[in-house]
Structure 1
Amino acid sequence: MLNYVIRRGFYGFLILLGVNLFTFLLFFTVNTPDDMARLNIGGKRVTQEQIEKWKTERGYDKPLYVNDKASGLERITDTVFWDRSVSLLALKFGRSDARSATDIGHEIRTRMWVSLQLAVPLFLLQIVASVGFALLLVFFKNSRIDFWGVVACVLMLSISSLFYIIVGQFLFSRMFRLVPISGFAPGLDAVRFLILPVILSLLSRLGGEGRLYRAMFLEEIGRDYVRTARAKGLSEPRVLFRHVLPNALIPIITSAGSYLPYVFLGSLVFESFFGIPGLGAYVIDAISGQDFAILRSIVFIGSLLYIGTYILIDIAYTWVDPRVRLS
């Protein structure tokens, strides 16, 4: 397994380099440093002196790729590519392109914990609720509960997450005044602000996850080992929890594991609508402000998390199924 992890880590590093290089080329092909200066300075009349000053303050006055005036290693190190792209590999994110020029690394470290307070409970509740709901439908297979449960899944799939947010804020915040409509507070007070977005996000994802897991469980209960277990006189709940659920863990891990990067990166829509100062809201603000330094950093972190997550998923396969061998 160790050789497999090392090999996958090496391939992942190559992919990370490719994503980093492609992101750099894409951003600086679409917007040159002069264009970025005009966007951030604003105003109809921007002088060349203002542009040069902005570029000097943020390090964009250097050559993009190769400094022909330098010699040796300085030809590469004295470039925007080295400062803004290669430095990401050392998790040095630099400063934002906005007027405030805040430290991106500090913002990410601060906002990450806010996003985790929203995403970790949602992640755990999502697995428990989706698996439990799917097992309930399978237990009452071909009954009215199963039929109306599938109908509810289709309805939840058909409704946009924005609808849940608007209706939830109107009912529970404006009408019944049970929770604040938006905002955030540190410590235990955060529960009042996070409970509504967690519940609404859970509902918006329950339909798709529940229907997916139901289909997987139905496939499993048709196998020979399930018929053998029933022939031995095991009760249906025992068959589902002791035999069907363990054998369906691989697709569950795959589905749940693909959501892990979002646990750290935050929820773009829910954090923005509920005024939660996490990484999701940070990305939305960067997009609206066209702050490409922040976006490049978030793309890099997202790539790193996805690569690491799928390595962990492969390792988890061996824990839940001894037949899986990594080679």
Structure 2
Amino acid sequence: MIQYIIRRVAYAIPLLLAVNILTFVLFFVVNSPDDMARMQLGQKHVTEQAINNWKHQHGYDLPLLWNAEQSGLEKLRQTIFYQKSIGLFLFDFGISDSGRNIGHDISERMWPSLALALPSLIVGLLVNITVALMMVLFRNSYLELGTIVLCVILMSISSLFYIIGGQFFIGKILKLVPISGYDSGFSAIKFLILPIIISVISGLGAGARWYRTLFLEEVEKDYVRTARAKGLSEVQVLFRHVLKNAMIPILTGVVVVLPLLFMGSLIMESFFSIPGLGSYTIDAINRQDFAIVRSMVFLGSVLYILGLLMTDISYTWVDPRVRLS
């Protein structure tokens, strides 16, 4: 088990290094510091002096990879790559172009993102699996047909419709919950109810159909026929055997998503004015704050790789044969 985990971690290290290098190339080679300065200053006729001043203030006036004017290790240290990219491996995100501490902002904004994403994931997963099991239990019936039609309809509607419609009907007409905003502590619950409901409903169509496909593949296997021959009811077969043996593909979808919950939902947080990492990223893009965008891109890559690693490890708990691969 330990050797298996070590191998997976060893695979992740070069991948993370490649992501860091690619991020650096996109932000500092394809899009040069001069281009960043012109976009940030937002002027049609920007003087060379203004560009140089902006680069000097934000540390973008150094050479990219090699500083020939320095001596010893300073040739590497006094470069943009060392000062802007190496620190990311230590989760030292530095200072944003607007002068804020990025690491402090992330540590504050991750909690609203988790407060929205975790309940949405858990409730959505339970609802999707329940609906899928119901369709399998009543397969080849009008109930299954009607549920499939409903799922297709839910899939065909844009998530923006659910957001705007939910805000208008539940928030404005019925006035059951606030349309947008956020508060600390338990007071935040009233602001999270509506986006959680919308997240669950918008993902129900695709999720329920996907789990239904997994369960239908399992109910046709020999071990299910054996369980029925032993006298188990269809409900017992589904919950004791089918659900258990479908855990590997379920874990694939769930465990990969877990680390990405920290990143928040870009659309949901923006529409509901939730101060999470999703709205933080959108605001940084609008302000053209390249330091924040670069940090969030790298953090998202790290969390995605961590999710893949967690998926591989979770497989060994569900199916020990994976350890031998």
The answer on whether the counterparts of 1:116 and 1:264 sit within 8 Å (CA) in structure 2 is: yes
Give the equivalent residue in structure 1 for 2:217.
Answer: 219
Which residue number corresponds to residue 15 of structure 1? Answer: 15
Report the CA distance between 1:48 and its aligned residue.
2.6
Corresponding letter in the other structure for 2:60: Y
Paired position in structure 1 for 2:264: 266
Cα distance per residue 1:87-134 (max 9 Å; x no partner)? 11111111112xx32111111111111100001111111211111110
- Check whether the contact 1:179–1:192 (CA below 8 A) recurs between aligned residues: yes
Question: 1:187: Cα distance to partner?
Answer: 0.6
Residue 51 of structure 1 deviates from its aligned partner by: 2.0
2:248–2:315 CA contact under 8 A, matched in 1: yes
Distance 1:222 1:310 in 2: 30
Whole-Å separation in 1 of the counterparts to 2:132 and 2:263: 28
Deviation at 1:244, TM superposition (A): 0.6
Contact 1:258/1:309 (<8 A) preserved = yes
TM-score, structure 2 normalization: 0.97
- Secondary structure of 2:322's aligned partner: coil
**Match of 2:40?**
40
2:266 equivalent to 1:304: no
Instruction: Find the counterpart in structure 2 of residue 189 from structure 1.
Output: 187
The one-letter code sitting in structure 1 at the alignment partner of 2:81 is F
Given that 2:259 and 2:306 are in contact with CA atoms closer than 8 Å, whether structure 1 keeps it comes out as no
Match of 1:140 among 135, 138, 141: 138
Bigger mean CA deviation after superposition, 2-11 or 234-243: 2-11
What's 2:81 paired with?
81
Distance 1:33 1:324, change over 3 A: closer
The residue type equivalent to 1:124 in the other structure is I
In the alignment, the residues of structure 1 paired with residue 182 and residue 113 of structure 2 have an alpha-carbon distance, to the nearest angstrom, of 11
Structure 2 residue ranges without an equivalent (≥5): none
Mapped to 2, the partners of 1:190 and 1:53 lie a distance apart of 43
Structure 1 consecutive aligned stretches of length 4 or more whose deviation exceeds 4 Å? none
Residue identity in the other structure for 2:282: I
Contact 1:119–1:262 (Cα < 8 Å) also in 2: no
Q: C-alpha deviations, 1:32-58, integer Å up to 9, x for none?
A: 212212222223343333222221221
Letter aligned with residue 203 of structure 2: R
Are 1:164 and 2:162 counterparts?
yes
Which one of 162, 173, 176 corresponds to residue 174 of structure 2? 176
Within-5 A mapping of 1:100-115: 100-115=98-113
Which position in structure 2 is the counterpart of 1:118?
Answer: 116
Report how many residues are paired.
325
1:3 positional shift? 1.5
Maintained 8 Å contact 2:260/2:304:
no
Say whether the 8 Å CA contact 2:4–2:323 is kept in structure 1.
no
Gaps of 5+ in 1: none
AA of the residue aligned to 1:86: I
Q: Is the 8 A contact 1:65 1:80 kept in 2?
A: yes
Amino acid at match of 2:288: Q
Match of 1:292 in 2: 290
Counterpart of 2:323 in structure 1 is: 325
- Quote the sequence identity (%): 55
Residue 326 of structure 1 deviates from its aligned partner by 4.2
Counterpart residue type for residue 28 of structure 1:
F
Compute the RMSD of aligned alpha carbons: 1.3
